Structure 1
């Protein structure tokens, strides 16, 4: 574990003046006579403020000197530490709009960024043909970055408050009132399309697809399941996820596995307790084996299986699927099947539609893990029973 006091500047004596001095982020700070209590207190105060900033690279920069590119660097460091670096984290989601901001206003003082500049960034996003909802979300992230900067004291109190007020005045793009395209609604994948795709998937990928459909979970939830998470004590297995959409709100996400989901999952439990059940490395090995078995060239001709593989490939399967690689694997299977492509989210919509049709909206809401903070805890037991009932019958 990193020592929080590591790589901090040392207090030293400036020989020419006799003052106590420390150099932080390339800037010298003088604290008065070396050896005095006042100098030590001022030095301690500087370090405390620096650590409170999260070791921000923008620490000590005057509000009128802070540029957009410096603000982005400081905020990116905070985002990486606070949200993590998973492919679905806010750290990655904000990157595209920050790239546009750096291109347009990288050297512009952050204190000069206002409504006109935010609208210019928005127009650049519209030109990239992303959806209206995505653009509105990215503009909200820009506002949040400036709100963070004000809270960190990087923009000055008065100017910072003025910037926040101006940026808040830029309303969201409205449907039918903008050139930004609308997102296509996510439709449930049809049974015909699903059945046409599965034969062209590896066994691991096919089982992952079926497992997600039977449990109604999100793609990011299905790919993270490990043996340690699975409780097999009841007739319906439960899976308590370590990471999920509402974990930061103190909520718990539980997947419910009925007989069909159990039959799928049982094949992947004999591994390390923290190894993912649905492994992309296993899926890739199955794909290669299938190609070898389908080979038409006689073994005596051409390359023997495995002889032409790169010893240290630049890209190799990760320890776990990401939502991106999971979606890509399905698209490749669709391409091999010669059918229309579909996404993992459509499996969740299909599950929601079928559960709602058979068991009602309440059961679908519980099974899919929808959360409403206004709902009181008195419904918890009844909700669990609904999910267990659904899992027993269709899971």
Structure 2
């Protein structure tokens, strides 16, 4: 029997020192945890919730709880933010950590980047009052990133540090939405100018060069069929590594003569832009054998790559089957890491760089394939075809413009290099 819906959702302790309750998917802060004012606000809130049929009114304003709670207590109105519970930087980062669990649930690299940034902020300024974290302290944090922001490894580049500083401002902007701080603090933080070339010790990132096609071919000899197919498709289409990693059969329109891949997510999807990647010639040939699976399953799976490696190892086994370990008998029941359902850009890059070392060629990374394809197509057909293939547009396309773009992209794909 299903558990009945709770008529009075529980109060929870929030790291800011307040009580919080979630109603209709909305977080409502009640003030200092377990204080009389907090309990009174909770009682008033639940009364409103239950009288509305377990639903908050559309025009509900949390501020109205103060007056009703004060009436219940027989005292003057009390603000939701308690004076003896000042908001610190660690409270701001804690709120943001909750936010990124949902926002970056499908983007582990961004999740890790923001988690690391929150940890660094907490280590440096965790107990500082949020209102006191102004441009001077933000600049001090930026200097920390320049000195040791990468844990003693290769120094962080100037542009990347500017990006991290913008992320810090975003962390505080989210706290404004959570009613922990005022918007004036964010405006103050935004006054810090970005680092400029030649005005900082932070290094510059060298321009990304196209991958050497011969190095790519030698590397491919040491790759699993799964990664090799991903390389073939990326070279033939100029797609971004992230777009190759998330490819699924349901994202490929195979109704026409030309197959069109529509990535479920891409760099500019948040702006409402659509992207169409034609799969012709080598790309179509490479992807075909990976379409025999559930429509919403990822085409390229690390689990399949591991199974292939085990099969190769078993086929190359020298020890007779009657001796030594039986195939599969020495595998751990609880391994430290388990292959995921799909590659991400990090695991894709790492697989390629391991193969490059085995092939004794210069190190290269997947994004250089996009530059390789762009260079070849532009030399063969011109910049417009290269733009169409790579998906570089500046406005939402009309149906006519979309048709022309796909035709240009198809011509470009036919001229793209092959693995």
Structures share a fold, TM > 0.5?
yes
Of residues 79-88 and 204-213 in structure 1, the stretch that sits farther from structure 2 once superposed is: 79-88
Q: Deviations over 1:313-347 (max 9, x none)?
A: 22121000111111111111112212222111111
Aligned to 1:361: 383
Match of 2:93 in 1: 72
| Cα displacement string for residues 240-283 of structure 1 (whole angstroms, at most 9, x for unaligned residues) | 12122222211212211112211111111111111111111111
- Measured after TM superposition, the shift of residue 33 of structure 1 is 9.4
Q: Say if 2:170 is the partner of 1:144.
A: yes
Aligned length: 369
The 8 Å contact of residues 231 and 238 in structure 1, kept in 2 or not, is answered as yes
Cα deviation code 1:160-206 (max 9, x no counterpart): 41x23332221111111111111122111101111110110011111
Q: TM-score, normalised by structure 1?
A: 0.83
1:82 maps onto 2:103 in alignment: yes
Three-state SS of the structure 1 residue aligned to 2:239 is coil
Paired residue for 1:126? Answer: 146
- 1:7 equivalent to 2:9? Answer yes
Change (3 A) 1:356 1:165: same
* Unaligned residue ranges in structure 2 (runs of 5+): 13-28, 51-55, 64-78, 149-154
**Alignment partner of 2:260: what SS?**
strand
Change in Cα spacing, 1:30 to 1:223, as seen in structure 2 (3 Å) is same
Change (3 A) 1:139 1:187: same
Three-state SS of the structure 1 residue aligned to 2:108 is coil
Change (3 A) 1:97 1:300: same
Return closer, same or farther for 1:23/1:206 CA change in 2, 3 Å cut-off.
same
- The within-5 A match list for 1:267-306 is 267-306=289-328
| One of 322, 326, 339 as aligned partner of 2:344 | 322
Among candidates 249, 252, 256, match of residue 227 of structure 1: 249
2:97 is paired with a residue whose SS is helix
Secondary structure (helix, strand or coil) at the match of 2:295 reads coil
Superposed counterparts of 1:1-395, under 5 Å? 7-9=9-11, 26-28=33-35, 30=37, 40=47, 49=62, 60-62=80-82, 65-89=86-110, 91-128=111-148, 129-156=155-182, 160-161=183-184, 163-373=185-395, 379-394=401-416
Q: Distance in 1 between matches of 2:45 and 2:188?
A: 41
Q: Distance in 2 between matches of 1:125 and 1:69?
A: 18
**Distance in 1 (alpha carbons) for counterparts of 2:361 and 2:303:** 25
Cα 1:29/1:218, change in 2 over 3 Å: farther
What secondary structure, in the 3-state scheme, does the structure 2 residue paired with 1:211 have? helix
Change (3 A) 1:390 1:38: closer
What TM-score do you get using the length of structure 2 for normalisation?
Answer: 0.79
Give 1:27 deviation, angstroms.
3.4
Query: How many angstroms apart in 2 are the aligned matches of 1:393 and 1:185?
Result: 24
Q: CA deviation at 1:61?
A: 4.3
Q: What's the C-alpha RMSD, in Å, of the aligned pairs?
A: 3.4
Q: Secondary structure, in 3 states, of the residue corresponding to 2:180?
A: coil
Aligned residue for 2:394, secondary structure, equals coil
Contact persistence 2:8–2:46 (CA under 8 A): no
Question: Partners in 2 of 1:381 and 1:8 — Cα distance?
Answer: 54
Closer, same or farther: CA 29–389 of 1 in aligned 2, 3 Å: farther
Would you say the 8 A contact 2:246–2:342 is kept in 1?
yes
**1:375 Cα offset (Å):** 7.2
Rounded to whole Å, the distance in 2 between the matches of 1:60 and 1:237 is 57
1: distance between equivalents of 2:380 and 2:167?
39
Q: Which secondary structure does the structure 1 equivalent of 2:278 belong to? A: strand
* SS of residue in 2 equivalent to 1:188: coil
Structure 1 contact 188–348 (Cα < 8 Å) conserved: yes
| 1:93/1:378 CA distance change after superposition, 3 Å | farther
The 3-state SS of whatever aligns with 1:94 is helix
Q: Which runs of 5+ in 1 are unaligned?
A: 11-21, 51-58
